[in-house]
Structure 1
Amino acid sequence: MTQSNVLKRICMAACWMLPFATVFSVTAVAQSGPYKVETHWKIGGEGGWDYITADPHAHLLYIDHGPRVDIVNTKTGKVVDAITRLKGTHGVALDDEGKYGYISDGRDNAVVVFDRQTFKTVATIPAGENPDGIVFEPVTKTVWAFNGRSNNVTVIDTRTLKVVSTIALPGKPEFPVADGKGVVFDNIESKNSIARLDAKTLQLTATWPLNDCESPSGLAIDRAHRHLFSVCHNQKMAVTDADSGKTLANPTIGDGPDAAGYDPVHHLAFSSNGDGTLTVVNAASGKFDVVQNLATQRGARTMSVDTATGRIYLVTAEFGPRPAVTAENPRPRPAILPNSFTVVVVGR
């Protein structure tokens, strides 16, 4: 991620400036909600991170961690393997057969395919510039890698592991989702909108504006009720009708959001926020009201929902003191403390 990565890093720096009163008020709200922080899994290592992907059936968590993907057993909280020799990972997509996984390696302008039994790399497929958000589309058996710098999407046939199309987009793409019926949606960060793409015809079929939403990043979907949830950098979640493109609601979320999630069992939407909160939105009532702002940990802005257990996994690290502002570096970032990288486990 180019622009969004900058926003993330600014968020991490800004979080150090939050008043303690805000933290206390968030904690008070958290006590009345259905979720709590259950535990922390220490992963360690160095470098930044991006999206994480839960595999509920295999009880695994794939964590994009700089030039590698850490693989964590969700029953034990232990790292069981890693996919290495990458350059700069962003996301992981999983096919529906349990066979392959697909990593968007942004710094290598490629999608790396790995075997989900051995975790060995089986192919490297050229993509556009800085592939970022990535999703598997089950109807056409394709993987869609959204390229953040070239403003297009690379479509890969999972049966041949070949590129079948490159589709131009109306702006800088962010996170995508598939509706399971042959349609792929993607947030267009630079245009405050959602792109709708037909996986069968390989065509961009609509671009819908997101009302009251600035720089949308994370995106989640309620496939049964046809709702899309975009998290926005003006502390709003834009709820969109997936058929008409109409904005249905804009509940207020935490600061510095990056990922969105949805629990189809409890009908809840989530926003993980860099200010150290997890916002929980009730999607069942039609009002899309906030039911909880759970205190998690500063910088925990990406997450994945485990649909088998209902758990939510977030990742973050500890940071050193914020350096002084200088003319050369007007927005200094606190350094990530070595070996402090952690999974925050949230449950009901």
Structure 2
Amino acid sequence: MRKSLIVFITVIGSLFLFSGCWDQKLVEQTGFTLQLGVELSPENKLLLTSCYPAIDAKEKNRDEIITAEAYLLREARNKREATASKVIDGGKIQQLLFSKELATLGIQEIMEILERDPLNPPLSYVVIVDGSPKELLEKAQTFPNKPRVSLYIHQLLVNNINSAYTPETKTYDFFIRYFAPGLDPITPLIRLDTDGIRVLGSALFAGDKLVGTIDTQQTAFLLAMMGQFKKTELFFAPVAPQQAESIKKGLSLTNVQSRRKIRVTIENDRPVVDLALAFTASLVEYRRDGLDQPPAQEQIEEGLARQIKKACLEIIRYTQEIGSDPIGIGDLVRAKYPDYWQQVDWRTAYREAVVNLSVKMDLLQYGAIH
């Protein structure tokens, strides 16, 4: 009798422990959105474009794209259900694509739903499209030598992020930078070309509004000043006179790495930033004559340091002009000088900040053949 009671209790307890998946979703009946594009329609509404794999389609690597427009993002999401062949699920979104036109007006109000709805993924990339996200997603499916559009864009972003040509900005990164006083978001910038999708560099924000853009090499220098530089390759103009008949102009570096030191002080009611960058790299392409002589090597290092310093100062002046602070100088001022921070309008004070920049380049290798 006692043994039967134990078995009965065990069976009853198992019913509670192994209750099954009551909220399961059948893959065959669900469309997992991987890209979500948002732009303005001709009627000045939000045009929502969703792209999800058509798993049961006869054509390989085919995606289904559906669009809807409304004044609210949630409303547009509900409208798309009227034309979708499956139940749309947004929990697997990999990229949020905003048009450049829309981003200049501000995207925080649109992204607000991502803060409120726990089903939306915080790890999706925030990307600005120079053009129409709808056109980009539709055209990307026609490239014969490219993988499925979701995989293509993901690999494109990851490769350029690892090369320091564009920033790694996911949804939570954007929110952190938007809500942090004295720190502005920066996102990847892409464009549709005739033969594929091209990474142009970065989009710079002031608050939630796009205010400027920089190219891929400028992005690498900006990431160095932000302390987020990754090992990459860089290309430079000649650092010394070259023969006129030479086809090759300039030089290229590989295995470029960077270290940053930054210090902020207040002098005469103005922020003063002391920023030091130290680069190491290997020289892989340049005219060969004279490279085995130490004076020539020092000349190359000094010439590269001057070029990097000039480029970085131009980037800083540009960000001050457009009122974007991706380096987070205001965040450092707010942490170290809270009284000063409370007394000033940072957007104005940032434009008047003095930045002292020093750059050092150390070439560790000049080639394998001597």
Give the TM-score normalised by the residue count of structure 1: 0.25
Question: Normalized per residue, which structure has more helix?
Answer: 2
Q: With CA pairs under 8 Å and 6+ residues apart, which has the higher RCO, 1 or 2?
A: 1
Question: Normalized per residue, which structure has more strand?
Answer: 1
Give the TM-score normalised by the residue count of structure 2: 0.24
